[in-house]
Amino acid sequence: MTFPIARYARAVRPMCCLCLAVLFASPATAQRPQARPQQQQQQQQPQTQIIRGTLVEIVEKGRARNLVFEDSEGKRTELALTGRMKVEVTAPGDASLVVPGQFVAAEGVLTNKQIFVRELMLIPVRKGQRVPVGRARKLPPKPGQSQNAYQVSGAVISLTQDEDYPEYKRLMLKMSPQAPVMLESGFTVEVRTSNLEMAQPGADVTIEAQPLRGGRLVPTRVTIALNDPITLETLTGEKPEEAAGGDSPDGSSEDGNSAEKDEQ
């Protein structure tokens, strides 16, 4: 009996073609780059536009405040500051601002039960203001970061020269859990506040805005950076007390008054 080779070949041929099509199509499909959800989200997000200028003034209109600034070409623009914007004033500072009652925050490395810090951020606290609760917490793992990295914040208790390490200053904060903060020699202080009363004409203005359809820009963040270091008087809003033995309001000297009493 003769096997029907021709009929068998005709039956198998479509199956072979199908297998070859799947075989050659699968690698192409697997190698096709597919956008990740995070990449798609980044592609969909509009790029932030940066606008820079110089502060002219802050105009108060009732409860509203408008920021007037000039660009590099001298064009003035007035921007209404709304609650949807994050408005911040920054300024350089020094160790003289780190006084009891002021609130500071920093990131450092825990070594021998002490947290070593190079940069200190100070958030001014004026009389009558409520001080945030301080704390020390370990930061989550991050490439290039120490495994013992900590974030600390709290109201200043004291700032003294460390007895064991003369090149360091010991900063004690109201925070939980409690741990000494060691400020390295040459540490920097940056003041950050939302108090626009500290803004001064001539400061650098940086505005971050999100573009919308039609070319419209919606500001989301405004930073006013002061160039000159800030003083403790400006920081607290209080004038320094007059030195003992100084002139009294009527122009007479306290020492002179006491001398007159002695003569009598």
Percent of the chain with pLDDT over 70: 72
Q: Is residue 4 predicted with pLDDT exceeding 70?
A: no
Parse the chain into domains and list their residue ranges: 49-89+196-234, 92-191
The conformation of residue 233, written as its DSSP 8-state character, comes to H
Top-confidence residue, 14 or 204: 204
- Residue range 198-221: average pLDDT? 92
Question: What confidence score (pLDDT) does residue 43 get?
Answer: 52
Question: What confidence score (pLDDT) does residue 183 get?
Answer: 95
- Those residues whose C-beta lies under 8 Å from the C-beta of residue 36, and which sit 6 or more positions away, are none
* H or E stretch covering 26: helix 5-31
pLDDT confidence band for 46 (50 / 70 / 90): low
Question: What confidence score (pLDDT) does residue 262 get?
Answer: 44
Question: What confidence score (pLDDT) does residue 62 get?
Answer: 86
Contact 63, 82 (CB under 8 A): no
- Residue range 26-44: average pLDDT? 51
> CA-CA distance, 33 to 100, in Å (whole number)?
58
- Residue range 33-40: average pLDDT? 54
pLDDT confidence band for 1 (50 / 70 / 90): very low
Question: What confidence score (pLDDT) does residue 152 get?
Answer: 96
| Strand bridging mode 114-123 / 181-193 | parallel
- Residue range 132-156: average pLDDT? 92
Considering the entire predicted model, what is its pTM?
A: 0.70
Give domain 49-89+196-234's CATH number out of 3.40.30.10, 2.40.50.140, 3.40.50.1100, 3.10.20.90: 2.40.50.140
Percent of the chain with pLDDT over 90: 54
Q: Is residue 15 predicted with pLDDT exceeding 60?
A: no
| Strand bridging mode 49-61 / 204-211 | antiparallel
> CA-CA distance, 138 to 150, in Å (whole number)?
4
- Those residues whose C-beta lies under 8 Å from the C-beta of residue 190, and which sit 6 or more positions away, are 90, 91, 92, 93, 119, 120, 121, 122
- Residue range 132-143: average pLDDT? 91
Contact 124, 236 (CB under 8 A): yes
pLDDT confidence band for 214 (50 / 70 / 90): confident
End-to-end CA distance of the chain: 152
Q: Is residue 144 predicted with pLDDT exceeding 70?
A: yes
Lowest average pLDDT, out of 23-27, 43-47, 54-58, 181-185, goes to 23-27
> CA-CA distance, 101 to 95, in Å (whole number)?
14
pLDDT confidence band for 104 (50 / 70 / 90): very high
Top-confidence residue, 256 or 114: 114
Specify the residue for token string 């800030």: 230
Q: How many CB atoms lie within 10 A of CB 79?
A: 18
> CA-CA distance, 154 to 133, in Å (whole number)?
6
Q: Which two tokens stand for residue 121?
A: 């951020």
Question: What confidence score (pLDDT) does residue 148 get?
Answer: 92
